[in-house]
Structure 1
């Protein structure tokens, strides 16, 4: 499995928007939805690689697909 380094939360949000997710609400975390799934993105810079991998998996993407969206 390819590794996913820590990513700036703004880059992660932009990539997920390209995948069809929209921001639902913001605060200490950013909540995004595609109408079916909800994702919670922490406002950390960088987001821990393990956390980001979990978010990508919950979005229904592979690491490879997510990297292409970055």
Structure 2
């Protein structure tokens, strides 16, 4: 696993059933049907680091395999 751009992470989470609820400053808040809330920071020129990426995957319940499958899918 390696860092990825925040916009790519948001697209992956949207494919996984999350939707953008709002954005406050440099943080985008997403939520799914089960009301799981995820916050993705968007800081110019910075990718989402591995530690935060793992924490987000843990909170969403996505497996690494599922995450990589969604990452590889065409938009």
How many matched pairs? Answer: 67
What's the TM-score once normalised by structure 1's chain length?
0.88
Please name the residue that 1:62 is paired with: 63
Structure 1 spans left out of the alignment, 5+ residues: none
**What's the RMSD between the two structures over aligned residues?**
1.0
Please name the residue that 1:20 is paired with: 17
1:43 aligns with 2:38: no
* C-alpha deviation, 1:67, in angstroms: 1.1
Moved over 2 A (4+): none
What's the TM-score once normalised by structure 2's chain length?
0.83
Structure 2 spans left out of the alignment, 5+ residues: none
Q: Larger relative CO (CA 8 A, sep 6+): 1 or 2?
A: 1
Please name the residue that 2:6 is paired with: 9
* CA distance in structure 2 between the aligned counterparts of 1:63 and 1:9, rounded to whole angstroms: 17
